[in-house]
A and B are shown apart, each in its own frame.
Chain A
């Protein structure tokens, strides 16, 4: 006897939506509206007071966005989700729901540059401080925890160096300390890894990337695993004590495994308002419909690229968890059995100058700041995505000036290789090649 609940690919197409409740429309409608009619005054009061579910104002929730939230939640195996205007706003909303002024976070040092700056420069303005720990330094996460630490945050596969955080072990450290582990799983998508199955308590994504795959729309999401007991200690009074903003409601008592998301929506979306536009939610939903198919091709193309780059005379080093000799290969095989994603970092011989020439001379690969597009993307992090970081921070984050970050797309592999050969040829004699 086995449960007949829907599986991953089915959920990618159907979760969160019932045509019968939407005029029979097979595709999810775009509810392009700011607000929703109340039945009467009693209905309005009940909605505002969280006595019943429903929509009030699209800053808080929207029916199209709701489908996206439930779909990602179902795919991640979570209890609740909250979509936001971007991945960064999902992270900010998460931290602002978790922490108060005077609190502290322990954070992996290998992150998208914008996330580093959020923790290093912006959150201290709100009285929230961070200790950065190198992703492979599992014991370092434990040592960095202070009495006022409210969580551990990291990207499972760090951007851009592809170093892995040992999520199962760091999760044990978080549990011992009575704090949640928050994983940015943008690089993996739930197709490659479901962090709740490895001990994470909260997951954030930039849906702009592989989940969408089409490079058309910004979006982010917070997903709750329902695994964290907010009432186990006194660290999270805003979750456990009566909340003045909702007539003394205790989110943990009333909502249990969905308490964090309920509070993030009720307080964070109400007060900060980083809401997702329904059109963007619809665009992302289209991408998710083909998530499995795309991720398989992303990963297979990435494996071929790793082999190609590893054997190329112009390449000094390659970092991808599938690569022979990668320090995290064994861990990756354990927690990323379907593939280690399509992000590759490699060093080009000739350093920064050669890197610039390479990027200026590839024509198929797009030089831009995004990752996870269906198209192949390249960038030189030290001069772009991570350019706001000083030398010491770059070094601590594992970035070098010869590093090229590659997001392998879905094009025919041979076409990507031919394009890269043009880039490598130019990189060998950068001074002879005119800038584009």
Chain B
């Protein structure tokens, strides 16, 4: 659906169901350069099981208007504003990769609005390889190829998408190339590289939190994901074997099962 956040047209997938502000809200926040489409194998399930779902396109991404936000802090604050913009008071947050930094910041800035936090493929800092950052800021398609290489584990490189007929690497690549690379991926990578508050924010989090990590993640390595989880009070950790950074697609079923158990227990439907 389209709605306004800070006066700007914003798109979010509602998982195929009409949005209902009276149902528990789950907001899904995508990673660098991507869009709501990465969440299709998680959002539809919750949307048809009594939750209201918003898989947002960050400003300037996917089907949302405006320019990309330049810092993780701004993005976190923006996600907090989304909750009020759709007439809700609180939400559970699910972030992937850069979306983990964004959702942690959202909790830090809007602690009363957030009920649970799910971090997929996260780390407390995501410093960028300088060459990859330069390529992305120059809109060089090689940046996307490198990102797809790093982001996918064996499943992505050999295939075996959970949805028959889809090919991991090229789907991700086309999602990023949907927009001018420097305006989305370039801005996002720079925001990740600049963000240094992750450890401090993580240590202050005090809400039900779960980290879902890929054993063969090369973008946010497993040990960095575990370090982040260790910083968060009472955080659960689930490691998915034989899986890279894109667990939400590479091992969509396992990811959904973990997420289902966590959300249904911590943020149940009344």
Binding site for B on A (CB under 8 A): 1-6, 14-18, 20-21, 45-46, 49-55, 60-62, 65-67, 69-71, 73-74, 77-83, 225-227, 231, 246-250, 253-258, 261-262, 265
Contact = CB atoms under 8 A, between A and B. Distances in A.
A70 B18 CA distance: 33
A67 B170 contact: no
A18 B13 contact: no
B167 to A, nearest CB: 4
Interface in B23-40: 35, 37, 40
A3 B148 contact: yes
B45 A71 contact: no
Interface in B50-64: 63
Nearest to A249: B16
A256 B35 CA distance: 10
CB-based closest 8 A-B pairs: A53-B162, A226-B174, A61-B164, A53-B163, A16-B159, A257-B174, A3-B149, A51-B44
Contacts of B17: 247-248
B145 A52 contact: no
Contact of A53 (B41, B148, B175): B41
A3 B142 contact: yes
A15 B142 contact: no
A258 B166 contact: yes
B167 A74 contact: yes
A52 B148 contact: no
A257 B171 contact: yes
B263 to A, nearest CB: 14
A1 B150 CA distance: 12
Contact of B178 (A60, A62, A257): A257
From A2, A20, A81, A254, residue with most partner B Cβ within 10 Å: A254
Contacts of A49: 16, 44, 48
A397 B185 CA distance: 47
Interface string B87-128: 000000000000000000000000000000000000000000
Contacts of B18: 248
Contacts of A227: 174
Contacts of B169: 5, 74
Nearest to A257: B174
Nearest to A62: B164
A321 to B, nearest CB: 28
Contacts of B256: 52
Interface string B179-223: 000000000000000000000000000000000000000000000
A327 to B, nearest CB: 33
A18 B158 contact: yes
A292 B41 CA distance: 35
Q: Is the interface of B mostly helix, strand, loop or mixed?
A: helix
Contact of B170 (A71, A78, A253): A78
B145 A3 contact: yes
Nearest to A259: B37
Contacts of A69: 164-165
B132 A1 contact: yes
A250 B242 CA distance: 32
From A4, A55, A250, residue with most partner B Cβ within 10 Å: A4
Contact of B146 (A3, A50, A62, A247): A3
Contacts of A20: 154, 242
Contacts of A262: 163
26 contacts: A1-B129, A16-B158, A17-B158, A17-B159, A18-B154, A53-B161, A61-B165, A67-B159, A70-B166, A73-B165, A74-B170, A77-B170, A80-B165, A80-B166, A80-B167, A83-B165, A226-B170, A226-B174, A231-B63, A247-B48, A253-B13, A253-B63, A254-B44, A255-B40, A256-B175, A258-B165
A248 B16 CA distance: 6
A54 B253 contact: yes
Contacts of A265: 164-165
B70 interface: no
Contact of B160 (A70, A79, A226): A70
A247 B174 contact: no
A15 B164 CA distance: 13
B94 to A, nearest CB: 16
A56 to B, nearest CB: 10
A226 B157 CA distance: 18
Contacts of A50: 44
B158 to A, nearest CB: 5
B176 to A, nearest CB: 10
Nearest to A221: B165
B23 to A, nearest CB: 16
Nearest to A254: B40
A227 B175 CA distance: 10
Contacts of B148: 3, 5
Contacts of B13: 253-254
A214 B243 CA distance: 36
Contacts of B146: 1-3
A67 B129 CA distance: 34
B160 A17 contact: yes
A255 B44 CA distance: 12
B155 interface: yes
Contacts of B165: 61, 66, 69-70, 73, 80-83, 258, 261, 265
B157 A51 contact: no
A18 B170 contact: no
A50 B17 CA distance: 13
A16 B164 CA distance: 10
A5 B158 CA distance: 9
B41 A52 contact: yes
A212 to B, nearest CB: 19
Given A18-B159, A49-B44, A74-B167, A257 B253 contact: no
Contacts of B132: 1
B27 to A, nearest CB: 17
A70 B174 contact: no
B265 interface: no
B16 A52 contact: no
